[in-house]
Chains A and B, each alone.
Chain A
Amino acid sequence: MTTPTNTTHTIAEDALRSALAASKRPKRPSALSASLTFGWRAMLKIKHVPEQLFDAVGNPILFTLLFTYLLGGAIAGSTGAYLQYLLPGILVQTVILITAYTGVNLNTDISKGVADRFRSLPVWRPSVIVGALFGDAARYTLASTIVLLLGLVLGFRPEGGVLGVLLSVLLLVVFAFSLSWIWTMLGLMLRTPMSVLWVSTMILFPLTFASNIFVEPKTMPLWLETAVGFNPITHLVTAVRGLMSETVLIGEIGWLLVACAALIAVFAPITMYLYRNKE
């Protein structure tokens, strides 16, 4: 513990007065600038609390190894063949699962009181959430990189080449960004960070497993195959697989971009309404 100096005045009155006098009121920052500043805050939090990256680093390694070697032989005849099918799916699942933390972090800000300060600042109000999502996008990119590197080491060979892989990661990050507005809404509706994590996980687990991440929907009972066909995660995985294997599916990508726009159009206003009126 650093003990302040033993003089009776830690507060240097002169310094305080000159600091007050030196204050100026600069021009209000643009919406983008404010959002980027909040994004910088998210980066600083990663720097100071690297443990929070455990999910972004641990999950992809665990899932890729587990599913490839545990199920690969049974599902596709060989682990090598399965990896080729599984890896784009695992990439999607990893990133989609860690979107849940967006809501958790927002809820933590509110329960700690720092959100009150941000809300009382004269800045573009969505910037605090948009900025946090920029920070999350960095985590998604990191998680994607880890999955892809591990995949390459294990023998995954994307035929779509570097460009296909980059585009697929970009698509994934954009989708995750859009999906996160659901979790920010929940983060403002629910009482504690734990309940936010619990509810979003309860939604995300069925959503990612009841998809084409692990197996071809053809192998499922008809009712499930139909349901899986409607799951947006299925569309996302199909598009990512396509980009990675040289078969760019314009229709699928177009569908996804519309879905992203719809997610933002519905959940961003609800989130902002709740944020403005949070008691």
Chain B
Amino acid sequence: MNVDRVKSAGRSATARNGTPAIDAEGLVYSFGDNVAVDGVDLEIAPGEIYGFLGPNGAGKTTTIRILATLLRPDSGEARVFGHDVVAESDEVRSRVSLTGQFASVDEDLTGKENLILIARLLGYSRKEARVRAGELLEAFGLTEVATRQVKTYSGGMRRRLDIAASIVVTPDLIFLDEPTTGLDPRSRNHVWDIVRSLASEGTTVLLTTQYLDEADQLANRIAVIDNGKVIAEGTPGELKGLVGSGVLRVRLRDPEARPEAERALSQTLGVAVETPSDPVALLARVSEPERVSDALAELSRAGIAVTDFALGQPSLDEVFLALTGHPTEEETDEKEEEVA
């Protein structure tokens, strides 16, 4: 549960001077009849961690592949640090790195050989490439498995190697396509640490995720993508604000006090109070958060013991549902765009 956590607000791209890291207008791409990207506009400031959030098939990967010069858009334009992704693709490629959805390393080679290969391709001498590979293996906790074939690696090791391969030369912009899909929680945390370190060293990060929690944890700003379109964009806080101000959760010591507590809360807050299956819990969707302290004071005045309370923002799951009219898990063809 991601309640009670305050995030620093993202930097607005438009508010900053200088060339945006990514600047795209009206990107469209179709696979045959299937319109995968349907008019995407983006402006991402240098140094941001920017999240693409959306279900499978929403068009996140296709958008990234256009920005990484792997696909030419059918229409629209995109510039990476001011360079057009079609006309100046070489210039773009020298400033970005791509970590694909499926580990883009050679499974037959060892971890060290993979890194040396990339270093050599980027122009390192044989000796420098070895040194660089060693540094990266060390930094990513892969020294022990350096001489093993990648096909023997765990999912987490493979993912770390993949990211290491992307920063042989520290890129100005890194694309991470679903960097934590299929990883266990510990490996996922490692990847999160890496992403944060990258950003703190000045690399712009564009990551895609299906996990709302991940976007919330990492991103300064998020674009919610569905059916090839950006349906909402903003800081995690702004997106949550679209749904409502927040949720108050209260737990009581004594379940028998619940009816009384319910009455007291609904009177002070002026909203209906829900009683979940947990016999000591109460939950209220609050429209005016400043009344919460009054409500808690009221409980204490009535002699009702509270063991735990939290005022949280709604989860991004709720945001997604409110924006698209369908939950993230399922793919619905008919979509009603009802913005709450």
Contact = CB atoms under 8 A, between A and B. Distances in A.
Interface of A: 1-2, 4-5, 9-13, 15-29, 33-34, 37-38, 40-41, 44-45, 48-49, 112-114, 116-123, 277-279
A197 B235 CA distance: 50
Contacts of A118: 121
A41 B168 contact: no
CB-CB nearest 6 A-B residue pairs: A10-B141, A26-B123, A117-B104, A122-B94, A19-B139, A23-B170
Contact of A23 (B31, B90, B105, B167): B167
Nearest to A111: B102
A11 B169 contact: no
Looking at B90, B121, B135, the one whose CB has the most chain A CB atoms below 10 A away is B121
A68 B243 CA distance: 81
B194 interface: yes
B121 A11 contact: no
Given A18-B139, A41-B109, A112-B107, A120 B123 contact: no
Interface residues of B, number: 62
Interface stretch (B65-73, B209-217, B253-261, B309-317): B65-73
A114 B106 contact: yes
12 contacts: A11-B141, A12-B138, A16-B194, A17-B197, A20-B170, A25-B169, A26-B125, A29-B120, A116-B98, A118-B121, A120-B68, A121-B122
Contacts of A33: 120
Contacts, number: 146
Given A21-B201, A113-B103, A116-B98, 8 more contacts: A13-B193, A15-B138, A17-B200, A20-B203, A25-B122, A28-B94, A37-B120, A48-B149
Contacts of B197: 11, 13, 16-17, 20
Contacts of B69: 119-120
Contacts of A121: 93, 118, 121-122
Contact of A29 (B121, B148, B166, B203): B121
B123 A23 contact: no
Interface in B89-125: 90, 93-94, 96-98, 100-110, 113, 117-118, 120-125
Given A2-B145, A112-B102, A121-B121, A16 B140 contact: yes
B190 interface: yes
B330 interface: no
B67 to A, nearest CB: 10
Contacts of B149: 48
Contacts of B124: 26
